[in-house]
Every structure is written in C-alpha cells, then in structure tokens.
Amino acid sequence: MQLAIELPDELGQQVLQHGNVQQFVQRAIERMLSEEKRSTELHNDLMDGLPEIAGFENKDPLATQHALRDESLDKNKRHFLNLIRNIKPVKAPYSSEEMVAMLREGKEQQLIDAQTSHDK
C-alpha cells in the first residue's frame, strides 16, 4: 500500500537523511503502533485488576472521587477554623470596616503609618 503524508520541513529533512527512507518510516510506524498496543494492554490490565481490589469492588469511581474530595474539603475547613480560633486580637487605630475602606481608597500608607505610631 502506498501512503502519502505531509511532514514539517525540518522533520522531512531528518527522515531523508536515512539511507532507506521507506524502511526507516516503516520501522518507526511499527514501533509506534507496538508502543500504542502495549500502552492499551497495560491500561486494560490495570482496569481489569481494579475490581479485584477490595477497595474498588462494586464501587462507582466517580462516587469515590467525590467522597475523597469532600473529605479533603472538610479537613481543610476544620484546619481553617482552627487557625481562625488561634488568632490573637490586636489593637488597631481603625475598625476593620474602616481599614477595608481605606485599602479600597488606596490609603495603605496611611494605615501603615497609623499602626506604626499606635504600636509605639
């Protein structure tokens, strides 16, 4: 069978450097197909083995993924709440609402100066 393919110039030049271009291309294609077949077989072997593992038997993979995600989110929420509980109160010359308003107005330096003079 004859097959015409289009290659980028650089790749085409590399292929043409081989003495027997037809044999080179044929071997390259055979290797790629063989690797693809092995990859598919490995994937199938892994998938066939999953139901034999008790942890995956008769379970929906998507449900398992959602459960793991939910567990991770809950853990992160608990951690965040613990961090908040451990925050020590600080005295500041402005309320949090005033500080947010000042930040939105671009008055960061005024906040920094006020906090520095308040700390002294």
Give domain limits for the chain: 88-120
- Residue 52 is predicted with a pLDDT of 65
**Alpha carbons 120 and 114: distance in angstroms, whole number:** 10
pTM of the model: 0.37
**Alpha carbons 42 and 34: distance in angstroms, whole number:** 12
- Residue 56 is predicted with a pLDDT of 66
Instruction: Kindly report, residue by residue over 24-51, the tens digit of the pLDDT.
Output: 889 999 999 999 998 888 888 887 776 6
Here the tokens at position 41 are 């077989």
Low-confidence residues in the chain, pLDDT < 70: 50-53, 55-56, 118-120
- Residue 66 is predicted with a pLDDT of 92
